[in-house]
Amino acid sequence: MIEIVLLGSGNVATHLFKAFSASEGIRVKQVYNHSEKTLDFFRSKCDVTTEISELAPADIYIMALKDDVVPEISEKLKDLNALIAHTSGSVALDALRACSRRGVYYPLQTFSKDNDVNYSEIPFCLEANTAQDLEILKTLASKVSGNCYEISSEQRKKLHLSAVFVCNFVNHLYAVGEQICKQNDIPFDILKPLIAETAGKVQHASPAGVQTGPAIRNDQSTIKAHLDLLESGENKKIYELLTSAIKTFHGKKL
Amino acid sequence: MIEIVLLGSGNVATHLFKAFSASEGIRVKQVYNHSEKTLDFFRSKCDVTTEISELAPADIYIMALKDDVVPEISEKLKDLNALIAHTSGSVALDALRACSRRGVYYPLQTFSKDNDVNYSEIPFCLEANTAQDLEILKTLASKVSGNCYEISSEQRKKLHLSAVFVCNFVNHLYAVGEQICKQNDIPFDILKPLIAETAGKVQHASPAGVQTGPAIRNDQSTIKAHLDLLESGENKKIYELLTSAIKTFHGKKL
């Protein structure tokens, strides 16, 4: 049985709590947060606290906190003499240097409060300062998911950057599509199968190999017609830049 | 029984042929293409021809051809006195004005040769110059899919533009993610559950309402760290523009 104390009560903490609760051999003993109000969800399920000084003994302390408080809170955990891990894509392992046993337990997924996630498919990106603690994190991750990867702090920064492109920026392009539909009394539902198929295709094929559309065809008349439909502003700039980026990427003449 | 002649033998024609073949009450009598070589797939399944003058009698002639040849080929079909429909997102109904009975049968999906598509979910965007012919196209589409929409030429142009954002541009962002992974010895597989979840979320939620990431959090330190990781070039420009576009869209200070 691996005993966990979870620090934080936001989206990542809540989803990790649910994932741990659904897995055998893991027990979340306690959830810490500096303010009371977001602890309500956890109160009926385990011990909760707002005081670092009242943290329960555990095998692993997992910090699902805002990036900028990670070093400061880890400083306060140094005397626990347990494995301290953070869950951030962009914070280096070294940010926990106050703690002798330190690790990273980064679930690469987009979490929102109301959306249930298939935990068994979440890729966990793991790192630790000793081989033993890396094994402990692998054991913890493999109880939740079949996808565990050993990823260095350097790689994790790049991975987090990639995730911004394929998740946050992609979602904004969906929002632009929705906006254009709304402005023209078109139900956004029409685009949903296309969105699903576009994401589905790259599960089994290299995205670079399945690029379609007017930019890669160098179809100047469609590109011009589209630019004429867009008013000056961010959407037009996005159309121009991504069209030129697709041409450059695939070695077309600009 | 609706009898069809299909003009064209590319991705859209091939997928429409498969979708029609899998549906009750539709028969593709003949496939036309100006050159022999891409007709091989169809040869064993129905009559094929390379001559417009040899087109068979049919209820509907469906043109799955390059946009720019649609007006010229439709001119040659005007004496058939049947319903002539094109399948293009960006060509107006009026491009078929030579034909007295004209329509649009636009399947809004991304097709590639090797990828099988769930035809029952393809949204068909329909338009015709008479109510009777619109009904005929609705009947044809509903035999294939549960998703049929009446969409005007003006709306269809905007829809096609939206599709470039949510499909072609999105795919390029996947390609950028893959590129960053490759350059850093990270398996692209790690990003696939995130890609699937990001597309899955907007099937049931407004993309504008589920935007996440450093831009909407106005997380300057992460944005700066990401820009420092990117060399000058298209990827850095995309990061800068989409970050500023997300802030503008959601009313954050630039």
Tell me phi and psi for residue B56, to 5 degrees. Answer: -80, 155
In this prediction, residue B26 carries a pLDDT of 96
Q: How far is A81 from chain B (nearest CA, A)?
A: 30
- Using alpha carbons, select from B99, B76, B72 the residue that is nearest to residue B85: B99
Rounded-to-integer distance, Cα A196 and Cα B178, Å = 19
pLDDT in tens, B176-206: 999 999 999 999 999 999 999 999 999 999 9
Straight-line distance from the first to the last Cα atom of chain A, in angstroms, rounded to the nearest whole number: 60
The domain spans of chain B are 2-151, 156-249
Q: How far is B27 from chain A (nearest CA, A)?
A: 26
Instruction: Compute CA distances A118 → A19, A35, A89, A110, A166, whole Å.
Output: 9, 29, 20, 11, 19
Rounded-to-integer distance, Cα A108 and Cα A119, Å = 11
Rounded-to-integer distance, Cα B107 and Cα B136, Å = 16
**Residues in a beta bridge with B26:** B2
Q: Is the pLDDT of residue B221 over 80?
A: yes
Residue A109 near residue B196, CB atoms below 8 Å: no
What angle, 0 to 180 degrees and rounded to 10, lies between the N-to-C axes of helices B170-183 and A153-163? 170
Q: Is the pLDDT of residue B171 over 90?
A: yes
Contacts of A226 in chain B (CB under 8 A): 160-161, 164
**Cβ within 8 Å, pair B158-A181:** yes
State the pLDDT confidence band at B116, using cuts at 50, 70 and 90. confident
| Rg for chain A, CA atoms, rounded | 22
| Rg for chain B, CA atoms, rounded | 22
Residue A109 near residue A86, CB atoms below 8 Å: no
Rounded-to-integer distance, Cα A51 and Cα B111, Å = 56
Q: How many CB atoms lie within 10 A of CB B182?
A: 13
How many CB pairs below 8 Å do chains A and B form together? 331
Contacts of A228 in chain B (CB under 8 A): none
Contacts of A212 in chain B (CB under 8 A): 110, 112, 167-168, 171
**Pairing state of beta strands B83-86 and B102-107?**
parallel
The stretches in chain A having pLDDT less than 50 are: none
Instruction: For residue A16, give the amino acid letter.
Output: L
Compute the mean pLDDT over every residue in chain B, rounded to the nearest whole number: 95
Rounded-to-integer distance, Cα A87 and Cα A75, Å = 16
Q: How far is A57 from chain B (nearest CA, A)?
A: 33
* Three-state SS annotation for A25-88: CEEEEEEECCCCHHHHHHHCCCEEECCHHHCCCCCEEEECCCHHHHHHHHHHCHHHCCEEEECC
ipTM confidence = 0.92
Rounded-to-integer distance, Cα A76 and Cα A70, Å = 10
Q: How far is A24 from chain B (nearest CA, A)?
A: 23
- Using alpha carbons, select from B199, B13, B7, B4 the residue that is nearest to residue B113: B13
Instruction: Compute CA distances B198 → A243, B20, B164, B211, whole Å.
Output: 22, 32, 18, 10
Rounded-to-integer distance, Cα B104 and Cα B150, Å = 10
Whether B211 and chain A come into contact, CB under 8 Å, resolves to: yes
Residue A198 near residue B166, CB atoms below 8 Å: yes
Q: How many CB atoms lie within 10 A of CB B136?
A: 19
Residue B191 near residue A161, CB atoms below 8 Å: no
Tell me phi and psi for residue B61, to 5 degrees. Answer: -105, 120
In this prediction, residue B120 carries a pLDDT of 87
In this prediction, residue A254 carries a pLDDT of 64
Whether A66 and chain B come into contact, CB under 8 Å, resolves to: no
Whether B16 and chain A come into contact, CB under 8 Å, resolves to: no
**CA A12 to mean position of chain CA atoms:** 9
**CA A1 to mean position of chain CA atoms:** 27
Whether A79 and chain B come into contact, CB under 8 Å, resolves to: no
- Using alpha carbons, select from A123, A127, A117, A113 the residue that is nearest to residue A155: A127
Of 3.40.50.20, 1.10.1040.20, 3.40.50.970, 3.20.20.70, which CATH number belongs to A157-249? 1.10.1040.20
- Using alpha carbons, select from B71, B243, B252 the residue that is nearest to residue A221: B71
Q: Going by CATH, does the domain composed of B156-249 fall within 1.10.1060.10?
A: no
CATH of the domain spanning B2-151: 3.40.50.720
Rounded-to-integer distance, Cα B142 and Cα B119, Å = 11
Rounded-to-integer distance, Cα A161 and Cα B230, Å = 9
**Residues in a beta bridge with A27:** A3
Nearest CA in chain A to B209: A175
- Using alpha carbons, select from B74, B123, B79 the residue that is nearest to residue B102: B74
Who has greater pLDDT, A243 or B221? A243
Q: Is the pLDDT of residue B37 over 90?
A: no
